[in-house]
């Protein structure tokens, strides 16, 4: 399964939100979508999800041009804000979305139970959505995106509001889905976490996209026993193997290393090198 978009453009009045953007999502891979606020990321995601028509450009599924209605049958979409009927219970919401995707009530109910267990919301199954916390709504939103077993999954800031355990479980679930053949695209500003899970990175600035070579080099903190954090040294290593080799040399030389940790990611370095203003 591959979803390819070429030359997507979308304007709102005089504002060009997305301009000739292109992206390819392949089965089994996780792609990160990175860029500053206002770069057009959400607009691009909405077009890929079949929820917003582009002014121009082409979208294809397995090299065959696809209309928005067809995209919606294979794409799962998780927006950055939950945005559904808060008076419905978690179970009712998942059943409703299963029914909207053509499942029978019985199959939608079974799928809802599976998804609530997946995102650890079983005990909230019969609670109205407005009673859920921000993080719980995010987990329910993730489950909602999976109601029809999508072959392509698009997520806009999925970990926003989640606690550390939930974020880690989300990373593991996304990798498992990719390993089963799903194509995943994640837009996120949590770059340290994003860098640990993505296979490719798409950079978006001023409505335009470009693929980024995975940058080399990360900054590491090295602190000896008894040394304050302020006096710790920092070094840049091309990869983990190089960092591990240097640590071994330090220990062999008799250094008493209390801390040896990566303090930034290569993806962060790429983002910070973008020639864009803070937004």
DSSP state of 126: T
Q: Which of 10-24, 180-194, 213-227, 229-243 has the highest mean pLDDT?
A: 10-24
Per-residue pLDDT, 273: 65
Per-residue pLDDT, 266: 63
Q: What is the mean pLDDT of residues 238-259?
A: 93
Of 144, 148, 149, the residue nearest 132 (C-alpha): 144
CA–CA separation, 20 and 57 (whole Å): 7
pLDDT band, residue 274 (cuts 50/70/90)? low
CA–CA separation, 1 and 103 (whole Å): 22
Is residue 127 classed as helix, strand or coil in its secondary structure?
coil
CA–CA separation, 23 and 21 (whole Å): 7
CA–CA separation, 115 and 108 (whole Å): 10
Q: Greater confidence, 85 or 18?
A: 18
pLDDT band, residue 219 (cuts 50/70/90)? confident
pLDDT in tens, 125-139: 999 999 999 999 999
Per-residue pLDDT, 161: 86
CA–CA separation, 264 and 279 (whole Å): 21
Instruction: Write down how long the chain is.
Output: 279
Q: Is the pLDDT of residue 84 over 80?
A: no
CA–CA separation, 206 and 278 (whole Å): 13
The class of domain 2-87+133-212 in CATH terms is alpha beta
Cβ neighbour number for residue 181 with a 10 Å cutoff: 12
Q: Which residue is listed with tokens 């292109």?
A: 22
Q: What are the extents of the domains in the chain?
A: 2-87+133-212, 218-272
Lowest mean pLDDT among 84-98, 154-168, 187-201: 187-201
Q: Strands 257-262, 233-237: parallel, antiparallel or unpaired by DSSP?
A: unpaired
Q: What is the mean pLDDT of residues 148-162?
A: 93
């Amino acid at each position: 399964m591959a979803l390819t978009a070429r030359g997507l453009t979308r304007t709102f009045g005089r504002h060009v939100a997305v301009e000739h953007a292109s992206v390819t999502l392949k089965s089994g891979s996780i792609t990160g979508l990175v860029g500053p606020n206002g770069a057009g990321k959400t607009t691009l995601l909405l077009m890929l999800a079949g929820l917003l028509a582009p002014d121009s450009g082409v979208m294809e599924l397995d090299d065959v041009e696809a209309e928005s209605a067809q995209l919606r049958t294979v794409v799962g979409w998780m927006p950055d804000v939950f945005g559904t009927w808060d008076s419905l219970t978690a179970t009712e919401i998942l059943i409703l979305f299963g029914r909207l995707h053509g499942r029978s009530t019985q199959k939608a109910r079974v799928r809802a139970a599976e998804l609530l267990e997946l995102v650890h919301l079983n005990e909230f199954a019969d609670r109205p959505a407005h009673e859920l916390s921000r993080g719980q709504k995010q987990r329910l939103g993730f489950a909602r995106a999976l109601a029809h077993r999508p072959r392509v999954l698009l997520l806009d800031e999925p970990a926003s509001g989640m606690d550390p355990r939930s974020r880690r479980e989300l990373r593991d679930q996304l990798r498992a889905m990719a390993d089963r053949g799903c194509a995943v695209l994640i837009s996120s500003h949590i770059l340290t976490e994003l860098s640990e899970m993505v296979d490719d990175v798409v950079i978006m600035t001023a409505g335009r996209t470009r693929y980024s070579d995975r940058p080399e080099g990360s900054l590491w903190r090295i602190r000896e026993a008894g040394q304050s954090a302020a006096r710790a040294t920092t070094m840049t290593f091309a990869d983990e193997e190089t960092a591990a080799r240097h640590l071994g040399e330090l220990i062999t030389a008799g250094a008493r290393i209390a801390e040896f940790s990566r303090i930034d990611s290569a993806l962060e370095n790429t983002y910070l090198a973008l020639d864009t203003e803070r937004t």
